[in-house]
Amino acid sequence: MKGTSLFKYCTLLLPILALLYSFLLNCAMATVYTVGDQEEWNSQTNYASWAEAYNFSLGDVLVFRYVKEQHNVYEVTKDTFRSCNASSGVLIKYDSGEDRVKLNKVKKYWFICDIPGHCLGGMRFGIEARNSTIATNSTYDTLIPHIEPTTLDNSCRNYISERWRVIRNLIPLGLLLFNL
Ligand SMILES: *[C@@H]1O[C@H](CO)[C@@H](O)[C@H](O)[C@H]1NC(C)=O
Ligand SMILES: *[C@@H]1O[C@H](CO)[C@@H](O)[C@H](O)[C@H]1NC(C)=O
Ligand SMILES: *[C@@H]1O[C@H](CO)[C@@H](O)[C@H](O)[C@H]1NC(C)=O
Ligand SMILES: *[C@@H]1O[C@H](CO)[C@@H](O)[C@H](O)[C@H]1NC(C)=O
Ligand SMILES: [Cu+2]
C-alpha cells in the first residue's frame, strides 16, 4: 500500500535528518572568540577578566586582532606567563595581526604579548580548553544497553558515532512498527 511505504521511507529518512541535525548542533558549533571582544588585543584591556567570562571547549578558536608590529602573540608555558620573560618557555609565536589559534588540545593555554612592557602591563591570560563531554545517559541508552564509550580525540566524531549507533538501532524498530 502507498500509505505504508511512505511511512517506511519516513522512518528511514528521519534518523538521517536527526543525525544531520545533531551534527549541526554539536559539531558546527565550535565557537570563535575574538580575544578582548571589541577591545581586541591591545595594552588597555584586562585579559584575565576577559578570559574568565567564557568557557572554552576543544575545537574553539581564538582570534587575536591587533596592529601588526605594535603587538604579537606568544603561546607560552605557565612559568613564562608568570614571569613575562620570553627568553624561554615559548611554545608558538604569532605576529600576523590576525592570528587564529585553534584550541585542539584539552589543556591550559597561556598567551602573552612579547612587546616590552606589554605582558607585565596586562597583555596576558590563561585559559583552559575543556572537553565538552557527551552526556552518555540519554533516554535511548536504556533501550540499547552496552554502549561503550569510544575513546577518540575528536569529541565531535565521538558524539556522532554514538548518536549513529542509537539511530541505527532504532531503524529496525521503526520498520517493524510501520510494517505491522
Ligand atoms: C562555565 O561553566 C561553569 C561550570 O560548568 C558554569 O557555572 C558557568 O555558568 C559557565 N559560564 C559561562 C559563561 O558559560
Ligand atoms: C629573562 O631570563 C633570562 C634567562 O633566564 C635572563 O638572562 C634575563 O636576564 C631575564 N630577563 C629579564 C628582563 O628578567
Ligand atoms: C546515569 O545512569 C546511571 C544509572 O541509571 C545513574 O546512576 C547515573 O546517575 C546517571 N548519570 C547521569 C549523569 O545522569
Ligand atoms: C576527553 O574526551 C575523550 C573522549 O571522549 C576522553 O577519552 C578523555 O578522557 C576526555 N578528557 C578529559 C580531560 O575529560
Ligand atoms: Cu602588546
- pLDDT for position 138: 54
- Note the pLDDT tens digit of each residue in 108-161: 999 999 999 999 999 999 999 998 755 555 555 445 444 344 333 344 555 666
Of 130, 147, 166, the one marking the end of a domain is 130
Same domain? For 111 and 66 the reply is yes
- pLDDT for position 77: 98
Ligand nearest to the CA of 83: 2
pLDDT at 33 over 90: yes
Cβ neighbours of residue 75 under 8 Å, at least 6 residues apart?
Answer: 90, 91, 92, 93, 94, 101, 109, 110, 111
Point out the ligand 1 atom lying closest to the alpha carbon of residue 53. Answer: 13
Domain count, the chain: 2
- pLDDT for position 104: 95
Same domain? For 96 and 155 the reply is no
Find out whether the beta carbon of 131 lies less than 6 Å from any atom of ligand 4: yes
Could you tell me the pLDDT band of residue 174, with boundaries at 50, 70 and 90? low
- pLDDT for position 53: 96
Q: Which of 55, 60, 127 to mutate to test the pocket of ligand 1 (most atoms within 8 A of CB)?
A: 55
- pLDDT for position 150: 38
- Note the pLDDT tens digit of each residue in 54-104: 999 999 999 999 999 999 999 999 999 999 999 999 999 999 999 999 999
- pLDDT for position 164: 72
Ligand 2 pocket at CB < 6 A: 85, 87
171 compared with 52, residue with greater pLDDT: 52
Q: Compute, in angstroms, the gap from residue 132 CA to the centroid of ligand 3.
A: 18
Q: Compute, in angstroms, the gap from residue 102 CA to the centroid of ligand 1.
A: 20
pLDDT at 106 over 80: yes
Residues in the chain: 180
Same domain? For 51 and 85 the reply is yes
Same domain? For 66 and 137 the reply is no
- Other CB atoms within a 10 A radius of the CB of residue 176 amount to 10
Q: Which domain holds residue 151?
A: 2-28+133-179
- pLDDT for position 35: 97
- pLDDT for position 107: 97
Indicate which CATH number applies to the domain containing 123. 2.60.40.420
Going by alpha carbons, the residue nearest to atom 11 of ligand 2 is 85
- pLDDT for position 149: 41
Same domain? For 143 and 126 the reply is no
Cell of 54: 567564557
Q: Please tell me what DSSP assigns to residue 123.
A: -
Point out the ligand 1 atom lying closest to the alpha carbon of residue 55. Answer: 1
